[in-house]
Amino acid sequence: MSSFNAILTESQTVLDVQSPICILKPARFKALVRLMQQLVKINGPRPIYIRNSRLIQPIGHVNFWVDIDLGNILTRDGTTEKSPPAKDGSSDEGVSFGFQATESALRELLSMAGKMPVAVYDRGAELVFVGAHTQAQLLKPAQPTLSLVANLPTDNQRIGEDVSHIDLGDLKSYAAKTKFIALLCYEGQLEQIVARGKRPYTLYQPTSEALKNRTPELVFTSQGFLALAGELELSLGIYRNGLGYWLKTSSRPSMINNLTTYERLYVGRV
């Protein structure tokens, strides 16, 4: 038996559980905790729920939803293969758990990251993370399920086309820490953003000349612009359903299959 398996066996006896709900390899553990930190920074210490290795819920308030595919990180045995059926006969694939945490608790959790895998155990009111030499805990929500149902826009409710091939670093530098970002649409297409006190930033540079001295037909205000956006495959799009207009932001952060946010927009400028 390997030393890590010996540690897990000992921990199982202490925790009085049969097996971990998942095992995280070092890089995946770090990626998960860093994502948790971003979510908690926006959401505060309110509950966050992961079901079948997918997180879909409002974060911070009901006008900002996230849909995150964590199938590449959260598997029961620590591999990227599909998880085997659960021992209770459930056909669900992936990993499910809820947590609520403070930023300080997550800093402590990240500090246990090393070169060995981390096993996660369900211990009643807590999630227990067991590394090679240390353990850490996160509280589980008192309420086991999330009652809100997503009413998010679908692909056929898109206005214009999604804008892709965006330089995230450049765009973040322009937006900086501006709280309200204006989104400008021309002929039904998102073309520019405007941070207060700055000239417009044209998302697709070749259109800059064509947009000079033109007035946008639609203007929206975003309060969560680029929140949680990852560094790969970034795209932005405007959508409309029965609840109003939405900014859909899709990206692929490191180690994560896909991260999509939906923000319901204010029509006009703030």
pLDDT in tens, 139-176: 999 876 656 677 999 999 999 999 998 989 999 999 98
d(CA 177, CA 163): 22
68 CB contacts (<8 Å, ≥6 apart)? 35, 54, 55, 56, 256, 258, 259, 260
pLDDT at 14 over 70: no
pLDDT digits (tens, 9 = 90+) for 206-257: 888 889 889 999 999 999 999 999 989 999 999 999 999 999 999 999 889 8
Structure-block tokens of residue 77: 């045995």
Assess contact for 70 and 32: CB atoms under 8 A. Answer: yes
Helix (H, G, I), strand (E, B) or coil at 72: coil
Does the pLDDT value for residue 8 go beyond 70?
no
pTM: 0.86
Instruction: Give the integer Cα–Cα distance in Å for 173 and 159.
Output: 26
Q: What is the pLDDT of residue 75?
A: 87
Please give the CATH architecture assigned to the domain spanning 3-139: Roll (3.10)
What mean pLDDT comes out for the span 42-55? 93
Q: Where are the alpha helices (DSSP H) in 44-79?
A: none
* pLDDT for 85: 46
